Amino acid sequence: MLSNMAFCKLIFTGTVTWLFFLFISPSHAASSGSNIGYPEKVNLSLYYETLNPNCSNFIVQKLTTVFANDLISIINLRLVPWGNAFIDNSSKKIVCKHGPEECMLNTVEACAINVWNDNLNKYYGFIYCIEFLAIEGRHKDWSTCFENFGLTPKPILDCYNGGNGTEFSLQYANETAHLIPPGAFVPWLVVNNQPIREDYGNFTSYVCNAYKGSVVPNACKNPLPGTNLAKEASPAKTMSRFKHALQEHQIRKLKGQFV
């Protein structure tokens, strides 16, 4: 019989293989043409840090549901990896709450967001993979996410090693520092410039309430599909349910039920 850890790894391996075809597909890429049918998108910004358990769980178990239902059709999703990091005045170095490895992963994810800035699915899939590993305590294996999603490492490694990643991180630091009102904790979610504070787990409702378009996506109809995905305590059970949700999403997409 498989151990819990082996079972989680087995499900994760199978899931990322399936996710590759969904996330890398250009049908969900962030582009000017993605507004067809949903012209009045809602801005959804996530301010987070890579090794904070609440952030990792939110990204993997909650935020990812926007791809499992059609909520992604009505949002401009922004990820800002900085969180509680700060710049030490004496050393002029970035210091992160969860240590140097978090600083490194913050920068790696910042590189992914900016290098693949024209393909939301690509960089979100990569970040999703890293955060899943973080939940399991295997964030040191983050580089395996390139292979898991069929991605070329060179652009990200060049960004990180060449210093551009640090510049991106500092831009996120400045943005985070100028939030009004200031972010009180992570994850910190902002919907159309309004923070939703402790109720971030119900972000779908806030997005749907803010959406003023005439075409109402399935995610905003009652009952809201996919919003209870994170109630499973076991990562393995959560991933299993998420895989099923993605399969249902793929079927709806092929039938042309939404853009």
- Which pLDDT band holds residue 24 (cuts at 50, 70, 90)? very low
**Least confident window among 20-34, 172-186, 232-246:** 20-34
pTM over 0.85: no
Is cis: bond before 181, omega within 30 of 0? Answer: yes
Could you tell me if 55 and 85 are in contact, meaning their C-beta atoms sit under 8 angstroms apart? no
Specify if 1 maps to a domain: no
User: Quick one: pLDDT at residue 69?
Assistant: 84
Specify if 44 maps to a domain: yes
Could you tell me if 229 and 219 are in contact, meaning their C-beta atoms sit under 8 angstroms apart? no
Nearest-angstrom CA–CA distance, 111 and 128? 14
User: Quick one: pLDDT at residue 252?
Assistant: 53
Specify if 123 maps to a domain: yes
Specify if 23 maps to a domain: no
Residue 247's H or E segment, with its range, is helix 235-254
Q: Is 122 left (phi over 0), alpha (psi -120 to 50) or beta?
A: alpha
Q: Which of 5-14, 132-141, 238-247 has the highest mean pLDDT?
A: 132-141
Residue 139 above 90 pLDDT? yes
The 10s digit of each residue's pLDDT in 149-187 is: 899 999 999 999 999 999 999 999 999 999 999 999 999
- 178: which strand partners? none
Closest CA to 74 of 234, 229, 215, 245: 215
Q: Could you tell me the residue range of the domain that residue 116 belongs to?
A: 39-254
The 10s digit of each residue's pLDDT in 42-59 is: 999 999 999 999 999 999
The 10s digit of each residue's pLDDT in 192-216 is: 999 999 999 999 999 999 999 988 8
- Which pLDDT band holds residue 189 (cuts at 50, 70, 90)? very high
The 10s digit of each residue's pLDDT in 89-118 is: 999 999 999 999 999 999 999 999 999 999
Specify if 187 maps to a domain: yes
Residue 6 above 90 pLDDT? no
Map tokens 């793929």 to a residue: 250
CATH number for 107: 3.40.30.10
- Which pLDDT band holds residue 248 (cuts at 50, 70, 90)? low
Could you tell me if 207 and 74 are in contact, meaning their C-beta atoms sit under 8 angstroms apart? yes
Specify if 27 maps to a domain: no
Residue 1 above 70 pLDDT? no
Specify if 117 maps to a domain: yes
Nearest-angstrom CA–CA distance, 122 and 66? 15
Domain count, the chain: 1
Could you tell me if 31 and 121 are in contact, meaning their C-beta atoms sit under 8 angstroms apart? no
Specify if 136 maps to a domain: yes
Instruction: Calculate helix-pair angle for 100-115, 120-135, nearest 10 degrees.
Output: 160
Nearest-angstrom CA–CA distance, 50 and 37? 34
Could you tell me if 188 and 48 are in contact, meaning their C-beta atoms sit under 8 angstroms apart? yes
User: Quick one: pLDDT at residue 19?
Assistant: 54
